[in-house]
């Protein structure tokens, strides 16, 4: 949700600032802007549109200066207009502010400021911060003290970056609930929402904690606690991802690249040291209850985990969508809550973990982004190592998280005697062989998937259904499809069909059925029966099935026949095919695949 970046250095930093905000565009892309310190003034340019579009309209890169801040927005408070784009200037033009987060009490503050005669230029919550800074500076006389005083008045979440000609060649950055990280190099220093902003320039990073302020200059930075001003020393860490990994590498979209990255990212997930996986399994074994938690895709990852734990370890774990956790969860000492998150910054998941901690539960997380809030918040963390996921919709991160949960379920099954060592090893061998099979299938099947997607792109309504472990696959696939195609796609457990959803079916309503291998006889028969029910109502049905499944091939109106795979990895392969199917459908429909409308990566507000 919104990307912020600030750069201060020797000479003109604007080309670097521009590149850094462009690298964060996936966090939000409805408008963008830049504020640059020049002489005794601040120049602000901003407008609606993505970063390149705004550059064309406003010539951001024609600005010059040695310190600047920038923002790419995902609207929360206020419509998508040029006035609501960040940065926001104070009434005296002496402070420019960019913000990620939400100021809850902004209406109250706005009323007070208006009573003092301040005129507002935007509908945003952020603008109050700029005006409050101008007022506080009159009272306190330094930017730093003014900022501390203003922050005391704010209720909400924020990562803020501020520049002011009162203090040229300085950037002030504070964190209160929204992510912020410094990038350090001899030529220039950065403050940004995430490391992607500065990876082409430096890999040396310092993560801010909530309640901290950084003051950056071309030569260095200081870090201090907001509460008492005490200096904080935190050694920088080297970020392992390089900028090249996050580039498109010849693919037309990040989504496609990230789908094709999966053999590699799964290999990384298989290389996570066994002791780490076993430690999580042990925590589950020792816990009175275990809750898996995520939201959106990561909720469906959790759902897959639920099936894996039941089937491999005979342990029923709960799955709760993070946003509902406060309403329904009953956890306390002795319980374990395992959060799943690509970004490690998702507000709903983070606050649910905070709640679990306060309630005395043990917490663990499977996270992709190194140094993220969640990874530092929990008692136990598994870093999944999928590398930067730039496309707004999650593909490779989700698949690796699923693999991590399956590995954990296997360890638990071995530890509690549900699985023999032989069965455990056979499973591991199947997992180990999967990345190569996936690579081969991606290479060989993409053309077929594309054909099917193009052939079916005229359907406006879809039902994705599966039974057993194919149910979470169908749910996640449906989410992917609706995100990138903007079509109406319902995911259901196939057993639900005759309990209501069947009413939707007619010849215009398409279904995608996720078939289990034939060897899973009961599930297979049930899936076939569900398909029959749709066909009997003239509904066109397509399917993802295995190539030895002649019954499925016969009954379907089309589909993708996959190589026969072991039961443990077959559902994951179906999901990858469904990801590709969504991608090609969206391509055919001309959608903004990497940045679908109305969405943002890393939703850091509640």
Task: List contacts with ligand F6R (CB under 6 A).
Answer: 295-298, 341-343, 346, 349, 393-394, 479, 483, 602-603
Measured CA to CA in angstroms, residue 59 lies from 14, 30, 81, 473 at distances of: 11, 17, 18, 45
**Which H or E element spans position 392?**
none
- Tokens for 514, please give them: 């996720």
**Helix (H, G, I), strand (E, B), or coil: what is residue 334?**
coil
Residue nearest to ligand F6R (CB): 296
- Least distance (Å) from ligand F6R to the CB of residue 121? 31
Separation CA 6–CA 21 (nearest Å):
9
Separation CA 34–CA 18 (nearest Å):
8
**Which H or E element spans position 238?**
strand 237-238
- Least distance (Å) from ligand F6R to the CB of residue 194? 11
- Least distance (Å) from ligand F6R to the CB of residue 478? 11
| Pick 98 or 392: Cβ nearer ligand F6R | 392
- Least distance (Å) from ligand F6R to the CB of residue 15? 30
Using DSSP bridges, classify how beta strands 509-514 and 461-466 pair: parallel, antiparallel or unpaired.
parallel
First-to-final CA distance of the chain: 11
- Tokens for 91, please give them: 């009434």
Reported in sequence order, the residue ranges of 350-429 that DSSP labels E, i.e. its strands, are: 362-367, 380-383
Reported in sequence order, the residue ranges of 362-483 that DSSP labels E, i.e. its strands, are: 362-367, 380-383, 461-466
| Pick 85 or 295: Cβ nearer ligand F6R | 295
| Pick 226 or 592: Cβ nearer ligand F6R | 592
Query: Dihedral of CA 224/226/229/230: which sign?
Result: negative
314 burial type by CB count under 10 A (0-12 exposed, 13-18 middle, 19+ buried) = middle
Query: Dihedral of CA 115/119/124/127: which sign?
Result: negative
| Pick 47 or 602: Cβ nearer ligand F6R | 602
| Pick 18 or 464: Cβ nearer ligand F6R | 464
**Counts of helices then strands in the chain (DSSP H, E):** 18, 24
Separation CA 125–CA 406 (nearest Å):
43
- Least distance (Å) from ligand F6R to the CB of residue 342? 3
Separation CA 473–CA 233 (nearest Å):
45
Query: Dihedral of CA 128/192/265/560: which sign?
Result: positive
Cα of 355 vs its chain's centroid, Å: 21
- Least distance (Å) from ligand F6R to the CB of residue 297? 3
**Contacts within 8 Å (CB) and 24+ apart, 437-444:** 437/563, 437/565, 437/569, 437/573, 438/262, 438/263, 438/266, 438/572, 438/573, 438/576, 439/263, 440/563, 441/562, 441/563, 441/573, 441/576, 441/577, 442/259, 442/260, 442/262, 442/263, 442/576, 442/580
| Residues constituting the chain | 606
Closest among 75, 76, 69 to 48, alpha carbons compared: 75
Separation CA 179–CA 210 (nearest Å):
8
Active site residue 32: no
- Least distance (Å) from ligand F6R to the CB of residue 71? 20
Per the rule left: phi > 0, alpha: psi between -120 and 50, beta: everything else, 61 is: alpha
- Least distance (Å) from ligand F6R to the CB of residue 63? 32
| Pick 296 or 540: Cβ nearer ligand F6R | 296
| Pick 388 or 568: Cβ nearer ligand F6R | 388
| Pick 151 or 399: Cβ nearer ligand F6R | 399
- Least distance (Å) from ligand F6R to the CB of residue 368? 8
| Pick 246 or 349: Cβ nearer ligand F6R | 349
- Least distance (Å) from ligand F6R to the CB of residue 557? 27
Catalytic residue, from 2, 257, 482, 595: name it: 2
| Pick 298 or 437: Cβ nearer ligand F6R | 298
554 burial type by CB count under 10 A (0-12 exposed, 13-18 middle, 19+ buried) = exposed
Catalytic positions, written as ranges: 2, 601
């Amino acid at each position: 949700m919104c990307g912020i970046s600030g750069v201060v250095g020797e000479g003109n930093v604007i080309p670097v600032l521009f590149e850094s905000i462009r690298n964060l565009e996936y966090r939000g892309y409805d408008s963008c802007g830049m504020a640059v310190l020049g002489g005794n003034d601040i120049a602000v340019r901003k407008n609606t549109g993505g970063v390149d579009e705004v550059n064309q309209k406003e010539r951001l890169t024609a600005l010059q200066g040695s310190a600047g801040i920038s923002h790419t927005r995902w609207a929360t408070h206020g419509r998508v207009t040029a006035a609501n784009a960040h940065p926001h200037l104070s009434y005296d033009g002496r402070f420019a502010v960019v913000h990620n987060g939400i100021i809850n009490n902004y209406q109250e503050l706005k009323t007070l400021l208006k009573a003092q005669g301040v005129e507002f230029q935007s509908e945003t919550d952020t603008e109050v911060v700029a005006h409050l800074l101008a007022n506080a500076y009159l009272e306190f006389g330094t930017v730093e003290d003014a900022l501390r005083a203003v922050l005391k008045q704010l209720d909400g979440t924020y990562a803020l970056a501020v520049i002011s000609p009162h203090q040229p060649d300085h950037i002030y950055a504070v964190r209160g609930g929204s992510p912020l990280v410094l990038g350090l190099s001899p030529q220039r220093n950065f403050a940004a929402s995430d490391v992607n902003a500065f990876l082409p320039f430096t890999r040396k990073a310092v993560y801010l904690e909530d309640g901290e302020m950084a003051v950056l200059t071309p030569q260095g930075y200081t870090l201090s606690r907001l509460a008492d001003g005490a200096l904080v020393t935190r050694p920088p860490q080297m970020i392992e991802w390089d900028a090249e990994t996050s580039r498109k590498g010849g693919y037309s979209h990040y989504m496609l690249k990230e789908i094709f990255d999966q053999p590699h990212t799964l290999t990384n997930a298989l290389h996570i040291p066994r002791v780490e996986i076993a430690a999580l399994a042990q925590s589950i074994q020792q816990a009175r209850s275990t809750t898996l938690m995520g939201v959106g895709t990561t909720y469906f990852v959790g759902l897959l985990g639920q099936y894996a734990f039941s089937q491999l370890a005979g342990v029923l774990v709960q799955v709760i969508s993070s946003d509902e956790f406060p309403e329904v969860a009953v956890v306390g000492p002795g319980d374990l809550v395992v959060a799943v998150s690509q970004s490690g910054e998702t507000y709903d998941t983070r606050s649910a973990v905070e709640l679990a901690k306060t309630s005395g539960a043990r917490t663990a997380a499977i996270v992709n982004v190194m140094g993220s809030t969640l990874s530092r918040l929990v008692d136990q963390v598994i870093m999944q190592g999928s590398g930067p996921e730039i496309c707004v919709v999650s593909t490779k991160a989700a698949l690796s998280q699923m693999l991590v949960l399956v590995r954990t379920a296997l360890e638990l099954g071995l530890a509690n005697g549900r699985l023999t060592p032989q069965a455990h090893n056979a499973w591991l061998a199947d997992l180990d062989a999967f990345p190569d099979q996936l690579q081969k299938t991606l290479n060989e099947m993409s053309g077929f998937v594309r054909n099917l997607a193009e052939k079916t792109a005229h359907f406006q309504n879809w039902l994705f259904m599966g039974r057993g472990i194919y149910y979470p696959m169908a749910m996640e696939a449906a989410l992917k499809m609706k995100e990138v195609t903007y079509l109406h796609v319902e995911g259901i457990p196939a057993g639900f069909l005759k309990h209501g959803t069947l009413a939707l079916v007619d010849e215009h309503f398409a279904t995608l059925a996720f078939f289990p291998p034939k060897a899973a006889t009961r599930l297979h028969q049930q899936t076939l029966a569900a398909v029959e029910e749709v066909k009997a109502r003239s509904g066109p049905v397509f399917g993802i099935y295995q190539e030895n499944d002649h019954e499925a091939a016969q009954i379907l109106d089309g589909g993708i026949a996959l190589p026969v795979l072991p039961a443990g990895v077959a559902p994951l392969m179906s999901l990858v095919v469904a990801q590709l199917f969504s991608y090609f459908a969206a391509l055919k429909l001309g959608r903004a695949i990497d940045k679908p409308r109305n969405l943002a990566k890393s939703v850091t507000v509640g």
